[in-house]
Amino acid sequence: MVGGFLGAGKTTLLLKLGRYLESRGRSVGLITNDQSSGLVDSALLRGQGFSVEEIAGGCFCCRFHSLDEAVHRLSADKRPEIFLAEPVGSCTDLLATVSYPLRRIYGEDYVVAPLSVVVDPLRAARILGLSSGKSFSPKVIYVYGKQLEEARYILVNKIDLIDEAQRERLVGALAQRYPRAEVLCLSALEGEGLETWFDRLLGDEEEAGPTLDIDYDLYAEGEALLGWVNCTVSVQSDKPFDANGLVARLTDHIRGALALEELEIAHLKLTLDASLDGGQLAVISVVGSDREPDVREALFDAVDEGSLIINLRAEAPPERLWKAVQDALSRHVEELSLKIDHHEAFRPAAPVPVHRDRVSEGASS
Ligand SMILES: Nc1nc2c(ncn2[C@@H]2O[C@H](COP(=O)(O)OP(=O)(O)OP(=O)(O)O)[C@@H](O)[C@H]2O)c(=O)[nH]1
Ligand SMILES: [Mg+2]
């Protein structure tokens, strides 16, 4: 399991890890997870040729049995040796609710690797008070901190975005505040530091440790401050259109509207699947209202139809987020035919884990 806050780079890292493992002859199955269905992450990973199972409608801890079912479905297909799972980016207490129960129930059959938790260095620096700028409310930051508290490896990702001095300060602060973890620096994008992490992860097993000291009411309140929108739209046109440009303009409209009201985006991601052979996608992400959009993949040619997925998570009321998405879409209804096939706008429900193992007491509940 690779955890960490929204937009930290979990999917990008899992892609790199998956490719690394496959290049060494190990078969891999990926499991994505979200509070609702229609995920950019699943589209992205499938687009890279991986077998992917999506667990929608709640996090791994609350849908533990679905995790088990996903493993079996993937196994029926190609019997992967290694499962890589991405929990929801607003989720924490994963050791007690997922790793330890997996060990307890399936310890004979599986080895559970240690928990890695990824951070975006610019967001982490703001949250730890090392730099100034817009961040989240204290209750959201409570969840962020709990994610790091239980990590065995804290992965400072995207080090291509910071200089040596910033890196040292951030690593120092993380190591001091979260002594349980080893802090590793890497760049999923440029490949730096990846092999060190791969070696650590693959040569190790999650050990039983103390259960995270967490207040579930605060955790639920922190998660519920985040609004969530998942939306799938069919796009058609009489004549070929520039899908990369469409995705970029939609991103700019949504980001601009939220930035104007000083609402902080945790992660806005859009993908347009043009259903071309070879699984080509246009993909863009934004991981902060004052951060530049990142074009992750682009289509080579103009297209005349496609399936658009928009996933938006921000600290704002879900109705406000949905309005921003609708306004952005409405700007294109004259030139394109847009049909909203599915949309959900909500706040995550309070987490109610199926299991919560209290390892230090040697018991589970
Ligand atoms: N510069 C830089 N960008 C990166 C790196 N790794 C990931 N990103 C970008 O960070 C953004 C978020 O990456 P994701 O992999 O989708 O993050 P995530 O943690 O899976 O996000 P959620 O699933 O929404 O929680 C994307 O724009 C990525 O291209 C990196 O090493 N360097
Ligand atoms: Mg992801």
Is the CATH code 3.40.50.300 the one for domain 2-222? Answer: yes
- Note the pLDDT tens digit of each residue in 267-322: 999 999 987 655 689 999 999 999 999 999 999 999 999 999 999 999 999 999 99
Cβ burial of 92 (10 Å; 0-12, 13-18, 19+) is buried
Task: Say if CB 259 and CB 289 are below 8 A apart.
Answer: yes
> Which atom of ligand 1 sits closest to the CA of residue 32?
23
Considering the entire predicted model, what is its pTM?
Answer: 0.96
Q: Is the pLDDT of residue 365 over 70?
A: no
What are the structural domain ranges in the chain?
Answer: 2-222, 226-346
State if residue 287 touches ligand 1 by the CB under 6 angstroms criterion: yes
State if residue 230 touches ligand 1 by the CB under 6 angstroms criterion: no
End-to-end Cα, the chain, rounded Å: 22
What letter represents residue 147's amino acid? Q
> Strand pairing of 303-314 and 265-273?
antiparallel
Mean pLDDT, residues 68-97 taken together: 92
Listed in sequence order, the residues at least 6 apart from 40 whose beta carbon sits closer than 8 Å to its beta carbon are 269, 270, 271, 283, 309, 311
> Which atom of ligand 1 sits closest to the CA of residue 313?
24
Query: Could you tell me which CATH number the domain at 226-346 has?
Result: 3.30.70
Q: Pocket of ligand 1, candidates 10, 12, 189, 192: which has the most ligand atoms within 8 Å of its Cβ, to mutate?
A: 12
Per-residue pLDDT at 278: 52
Q: Is the pLDDT of residue 335 over 80?
A: yes
330: how many CB neighbours lie within 10 A of its CB? 11
CA atoms within 13 A on the CB side of 96: 25
Which ligand is closest to the CA of 89, given by its number? 1
